[in-house]
């Protein structure tokens, strides 16, 4: 019983850590050069004149998030962590009212759905919004998972399960 609770807690921790670090991989900017003298003003014009050095793809190469648009990579990361905060704040009272397991399972369902939306996002805006929602779900599920695990194992194991 305790082993199952520890395994669930550990697996969720690994998943949330991977989601937190995702932007480092998908937001990487490879070397590039612009084939005209002055920097293009619009993103459409930039897309015609920029050349990336290798075949590496990321959201920066997909939506040309370079130069004046480079801030959007960090913005997507900030939106994820803002969602994490919001999920931590709202899922606690929600799970007290509706029950921990239903809230956890619905959070997991929407986390998976919006994780796929993130992966196949057709635009930066949908990518950023889905990262925000994934952050809300991850924050809420982490909180509910922690409380469920503590209730499941009993007081004598709180120190052990609280560390994970």
User: What's the token pair of residue 136?
Assistant: 């809300």
- β-strand partners of 51: 33
Query: Cα(88)–Cα(65) distance, rounded to whole angstroms?
Result: 30
Residue 32 dihedral angles phi and psi, to the nearest 5°: -150, 165
Q: pLDDT category, 115, cuts 50, 70, 90? A: very high
- The answer, yes or no, to whether residue 151 has pLDDT greater than 70, is yes
Query: Cα(156)–Cα(90) distance, rounded to whole angstroms?
Result: 28
The predicted-structure confidence for 31-90, as pLDDT tens digits, reads as follows 888 887 777 777 788 888 888 888 888 999 999 898 888 999 999 999 999 999 999 999
Query: Cα(47)–Cα(44) distance, rounded to whole angstroms?
Result: 5
The predicted-structure confidence for 131-148, as pLDDT tens digits, reads as follows 999 999 999 998 898 888
Query: Cα(113)–Cα(66) distance, rounded to whole angstroms?
Result: 29
Give the per-residue pLDDT at 8: 76
End-to-end CA distance of the chain: 16
């Amino acid at each position: 019983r305790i082993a199952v609770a520890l395994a669930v807690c550990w697996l969720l921790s690994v998943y949330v850590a991977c989601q937190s670090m995702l932007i480092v991989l998908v937001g990487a900017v490879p070397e590039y050069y612009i084939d005209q003298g002055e920097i293009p003003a619009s993103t459409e014009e930039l897309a015609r004149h920029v050349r990336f050095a290798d075949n590496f793809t990321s959201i920066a190469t997909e939506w040309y998030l370079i130069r004046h648009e480079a801030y959007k990579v960090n913005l997507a990361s900030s939106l994820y962590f803002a969602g994490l905060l919001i999920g931590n704040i709202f899922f606690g009272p929600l799970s007290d009212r509706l029950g921990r397991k239903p809230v956890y399972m619905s959070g997991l369902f929407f986390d998976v759905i919006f994780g796929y939306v993130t992966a196949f996002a057709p635009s930066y805006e949908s990518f950023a919004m889905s990262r925000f929602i994934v952050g809300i779900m991850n924050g809420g599920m982490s909180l509910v998972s922690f409380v469920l695990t503590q209730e499941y194992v009993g007081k004598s194991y709180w120190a052990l399960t609280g560390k994970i």
